[in-house]
Amino acid sequence: MIVALKEEFDIGKIADSGQCFRLKRLEEGRFRAVAGNRWIELQEQPDAWALDCSKEEFDGFWRGYFDLDTDYAAFRAAVPEKDAYLTAATAFGSGIRILRQDPWEMLVTFIISQRKNIPAIRACVETLCRRYGEVLGPEYGFPSAEALAAAGEEGLRACALGYRAGYILAAARLVEAGTLNLAALAELDDEALPETLMTVPGVGVKVASCVALFGYHRIAAFPRDVWINRVVREHYRGRFPLYRYKGFAGVMQQYLFYYARCGEPCPAI
| 44 φ/ψ angles, rounded to the nearest 5 degrees | -70, 135
Question: What is the distance between the alpha carbons of residues 77 and 255, in angstroms, rounded to a whole number?
Answer: 13
Measured CA distances, 162 to 51, 87, 111 (Å): 37, 39, 11
Residue 25 backbone class (left: φ over 0; alpha: ψ -120 to 50; beta: rest): beta
**SS3 category, 187:** helix
What torsion, rounded to 10 degrees, do the Cα atoms 13, 207, 253, 48 define? 30
Question: What is the distance between the alpha carbons of residues 22 and 34, in angstroms, rounded to a whole number?
Answer: 6
- Per residue, the 3-state secondary structure of 193-243, as one string, reads HHHHHCCCCCCCHHHHHHHHHHHCCCCCCCCCCHHHHHHHHHHCCCCCCHH
DSSP 49-80: EEESS-HHHIIIIIHHHTTTTS-HHHHHHTS-
Question: What is the distance between the alpha carbons of residues 173 and 193, in angstroms, rounded to a whole number?
Answer: 20
Q: List, by residue number, the catalytic residues.
A: 206
